Amino acid sequence: MRGIPRLRRSFWDNGSTHSGGAVTDSIDVKTNWLDPQTLNDVRGQVPLVYVDAVPVRVNDMGEVTHVGMLLRQAPDGSISRTVVSGRVLLGERIREAILRHLEKDLGPLALPRVPLEPAPFTVVEYFPDPSISGFHDPRHHAVSLAYVVPVSGDCQPTQQALDLGWFTPTQATSEQMVKEMTSGHDRLVRLALASVGQLP
């Protein structure tokens, strides 16, 4: 996309690489989760804070060449493509949440490069009513900070993901891919690619 300055390689290198294994910061994810009943109560009263991470592969010039998208099965049995997404825990820094969800979904050897002070390329709001913002989550109102995250390691889908596919920017924004994505993630991918000057 013309008119958008190309991000230099140093942008991706402004921080440490997560080299595998558990996130080394001090958050105890076993004690910071809400129990199901409390979570349902909270969802009905206040917005939740989320992070969305769009994993990408970059070339030696720092240009995005591929976008990673997970294939997931929803509780209703439907299957769709999504980016990495999840809640921020109480007392957890945003960077810690990004690393935790990337490890959870892409495996411990993904080697994401997240700056020490990550800045989102956009902030989106998910609503139970899809007509409000175009970003949809039937469970609750959530405010999500979205990031483009280069990964250089071996990615293996874990948890509830059925598969992980890597797509060129053209493939990731194609009509066929849009049909496979839900919750507004097709728009999120387009915004992500535009933010790094690679929207076809």
Give the domain ranges of the chain: 9-195
- Residue 26: pLDDT band by 50, 70, 90 thresholds? very low
> Which residues have CB under 8 Å from 90's CB, separation 6+?
32
pLDDT tens-digit profile of 148-158? Answer: 999 999 998 87
Q: 9-195 architecture in CATH?
A: Alpha-Beta Complex (3.90)
Which amino acid would we find at residue 35? D
Per-residue pLDDT at 4: 34
Please indicate, yes or no, whether the overall pTM of this predicted structure exceeds 0.75. yes
**Smallest Cα–Cα separation from 159: which of 42, 70, 32, 79?**
70
- Rounded Cα distance between 152 and 163, Å, is 18
**Smallest Cα–Cα separation from 46: which of 87, 76, 75, 74?**
87
Per-residue pLDDT at 27: 45
> Which residues have CB under 8 Å from 75's CB, separation 6+?
none
State the sign of the Cα–Cα–Cα–Cα dihedral 63, 50, 189, 195: negative
CA–CA distances in Å: residue 46 to residues 39, 93, 142, 178:
11, 20, 9, 30
pLDDT tens-digit profile of 159-180? Answer: 678 899 999 999 999 999 999 9
